[in-house]
Structure formats: C-alpha cells, structure tokens
Structure 1
C-alpha cells in the first residue's frame, strides 16, 4: 500500500496538524458499507447525517459525541424465535460508524423515523473566535485591534 507524504504542507500550514492527521487517517480507512448514510448540508452552519437503520429500535441504537468524534452504534437484541429461513438477506448484525466533527460542531437533535436515523448538527463559533478587524496605525492612535464587541458598542453609540 502506498502512503501519501504530507510533509511539504507543514512548511506553509501552521497549526493544521490535526487536519493532516485526519487526511492520513481518511486515506488509510477502508470504506465501510453498513449502514449506508447521507451527510446533508442544510445551510452554512447546519448539517444532517441520515443513517439507514431499518430493523433497529431506538433502544438498540447509541449515539455518543466525545470531543470531535461522533460515534453511532447499534446492537440488535437476540430474538428467541429465529424461524426457519429459506433465505436470510436482512442484515442482523451490529455496527459502529464514526464521524470526525470539526471544531465547534455539536449534536442538537436525533430522531428515528421510518427506519432512518436523523442526527442534526450545528456549528456554533464563539464570538471570540469570529473574525476581527485589525487597524494599521500610522501614529499614536487608539487600540490597533478591534473585535466584534467594540464594533457593536461603536454602532450603538452612533
């Protein structure tokens, strides 16, 4: 198996170590097919993951968000009456599917309807992390860095 060398990116990208690690992990990860899923962008900061989990009840499914990892797992309960099948094509196995979440993305809702598990996510960037304007001073003037709260106060005063 060949590997990708991301070391040239380290020369111009500072602080993106986690991104490079994620790229390397994604390259090594083999695609899994069960259960099938969709990732939908609803708007700029809202996402929805939909997994096809037919045959699972909500008590057999588990959703866990820890740090920047969302883990969805399902374990079918053993049924006492297995029956005498001529053909068995419906999957009766458990699963675990992991999704790497970006910073400030959190799970806000999960629902199970018609065999589809919907997980709604929202990215909420704190005010202190939003872009701020940096003025270039020519002489002795006020502060060089203006953040969102300073702009709001200036707008209220005007």
Structure 2
C-alpha cells in the first residue's frame, strides 16, 4: 500500500507556535479569530504534486463555521511540520519513525504546501522545521479532521 502525505486539520479560534530562538522564545506563526491549525507529516514517496494537492484541499475544505472554507472568508492557516504523524506504536512501547521522511526530503515538501497555499491567496503562519515547538490553539467545536493525500 502506498503511503500518503498526512495532515491533522483543526478548526481553531486562535492559534500560535513558539520556538526557542537565540534570544529566547519566539512566536513564528499565529492568528486570532477563525482559522485552521494544520500539522503536516511527510513520508518517503510524497511529491511536490501531493503538496500542491494538499494545499488546494486545505484552502477549500469546508470545515469553518457555517460550512465555510478558508478561501470563502479569507481565514488564516497555521501550518506546522510534524514527523510524528508517521509514528508507529503497534509493537513494543516505543514508537518507530521509519515511515517519516528524513528532513532533507520532508522540509521542502512542507515548504511547498505553504508556498502553494500562499499562491492561492492564503495568509499562512508556520513553525520552524526541526525545532522544538510549543503549539497553542483553541480547538473550535472541537472539529478535527485527518487528511491523507
């Protein structure tokens, strides 16, 4: 079975991501009000085409209030890379990350999702690839969807 690019999409009423910078904690992405917080996982056989497809889906996904999409109301997105979406804990007590793509493969594809969203007209905040991040959000609903492209 072919693996797919994964995204956990949460409808949020405000979200932010903070990373530890050289001068202390730094907010690298945030929004207030209605939007989507998206955790993106990349596997070995993902492509730029899949990244573009995911971006189009995120921009048009009708999961905001009144069945609106981000494109309908110009709602922002916060996109954060998360290799742990490919964690496998079926055996033993420690997850394995074998299905997650390594950084040199994954980072450009997460960047491509962001670039494609921006090309569609989206306002997109991001985390910092490979950094330890603190993500905060108010999950509105709660409403969470798992996408696989």
Give 1 or 2: higher strand fraction: 2
With a CA cutoff of 8 Å and minimum separation of 6, indicate the structure with the bigger relative contact order: 2
Give 1 or 2: higher helix fraction: 2
